[in-house]
Structure 1
């Protein structure tokens, strides 16, 4: 399967809200309301759903999804992931990356030392972090490393086609 046809999880259906099929929305987008910029949604079973309406309700977002008319309907979709296809994501500039693109890339130092493969990417508040699973043959006995994803300081280059991230990093750390 190519990355272009992959599903990207952008949120999750929460508890029913009221009796007319409205549901709470848990969003994973940068801005909470950004989840509503993407349509159609693919819910758990892969079926496409269109959004009818949405609104803020206190500190949460609630939405009415077409075809979900009752509280029982809303209960049926509760806790399902909200996904979109990768083609629905905006195009990024040359030096911007989606976390999903970095996962699985090989990480090597500027001196050619193979640190391993990106297992995960997350944010600490200060900056993004790549979690690198070390190769079984790691000479330093490390099983994984956490490297700050800071361009030009730590991250020297990202080769999307070659799937290699070059870093300025001490392999013993």
Structure 2
């Protein structure tokens, strides 16, 4: 599997006047962010040193040089910058565990083995993850009921679209009621 970049956190608002920022860390191990050089979507490299709770010092990294940001205005310009790590530096998963990013590119098939599409994206807006399938953009809630089987090594998941999705498809094939 290629070494994808995995979103591990987002820089929040500045904290204080000396360049500290709040960092919203994703995952169970926030300390992982301070153990590696992080990269943003523009290819810039950062290092993070936790000060306390979700507050950190951020340094820019160029080669072997780290330059700590000590100015609130410079830190404020980093608000909403997403921080990524290569998949290879993340801890290995246990059986029945996986990173959501590992699902992207897998085939999605029904229980009879018919391929319904490929997982093109995993979306999570806070109420639980959904798998986006292409072609068509079909969204499947990532729950055990809707995705009962995940076979990373074999390259597929089994999906059971909820009744609401099937009903929506059926409604598209009916005429609108006359008023």
Structure 1 and Structure 2 fold alike (TM over 0.5): yes
TM-score (norm 1): 0.70
Superposed, 1:10-89 pairs within 5 Å as 10-27=8-25, 29-31=26-28, 34-38=29-33, 39-56=36-53, 61-66=54-59, 67-89=68-90
The structural deviation recorded for 1:125 is 7.7
How many residues are aligned here?
155
Unpaired segments of 5 or more residues in structure 1?
Answer: 137-142
Q: Residues 126 and 71 (structure 1 numbering): CA distance in 2 closer, same or farther, change over 3 Å?
A: closer
- Name the structure 2 match of 1:3: 2
The structural deviation recorded for 1:76 is 3.6
Alpha-carbon distance in 2 for matches of 1:49, 1:99: 24
Alpha-carbon distance in 2 for matches of 1:9, 1:126: 18
- Name the structure 2 match of 1:130: 131
The structural deviation recorded for 1:11 is 1.5
3-state SS in 1 of match to 2:74 = helix
Once the two structures are superposed, what CA deviation does each residue of 1:98-132 show, in whole Å capped at 9, x if it has no partner? 11111221111221322222233356888654333
| 1:54–1:62 Cα contact (<8 Å) kept | yes
Alpha-carbon distance in 1 for matches of 2:81, 2:45: 13
- Name the structure 2 match of 1:163: 155
